[in-house]
Amino acid sequence: MTWDASLLWQFDFLILLMVIICAVAALTFKDLITSAVVFGAYSFLMCLLWTEMLAVDVAFTEAAVGAGVSTVFFLGTALHIKRRAKD
């Protein structure tokens, strides 16, 4: 299979931009549940990046563990502690 990554640089750029936005947003939100969901979105965007770099096995793991299960873990934990972060 031939693959020219330069054809897709706009796609790449968009994902990277959204990764940064999600990373900053996950840190900024005071509400932990919102943070957890945004962090899930971050993981999913990373999964897209891995796929785009043809690291499909890693992307699969990222989708299953990062975007899937760990978001549920974060949500489950956030419901049991104080919901709002101090800073």
Q: Kindly state the smallest distance separating residue 18's Cβ from other proteins, in Å.
A: 18
Distance in angstroms (rounded) separating the CA atoms of residues 17 and 77:
29
Indicate whether 28 belongs to the interface with other proteins (CB under 8 A): no
Contact track, other proteins, 50-69, x by CB under 8 A: ---x--xx-xxx--xx--xx
Indicate whether 23 belongs to the interface with other proteins (CB under 8 A): no
**Segment near other proteins (CB under 8 A), from 17-25, 28-36, 40-48, 49-57?**
49-57
Nearer to other proteins, 18 or 58 (CB): 58
Do residues 59 and 36 lie in contact, with contact meaning Cβ atoms separated by under 8 Å?
no
Please, which contacts does 81-86 make with residues 24 or more away whose CB atoms are closer than 8 Å?
81/32, 83/31, 83/32, 83/33, 84/30, 84/31, 84/32, 85/30, 85/31, 85/32, 85/35
Residues that bind other proteins (CB under 8 A): 5, 53, 56-57, 59-61, 64-65, 68-69, 72-73, 75-77, 79-83, 87
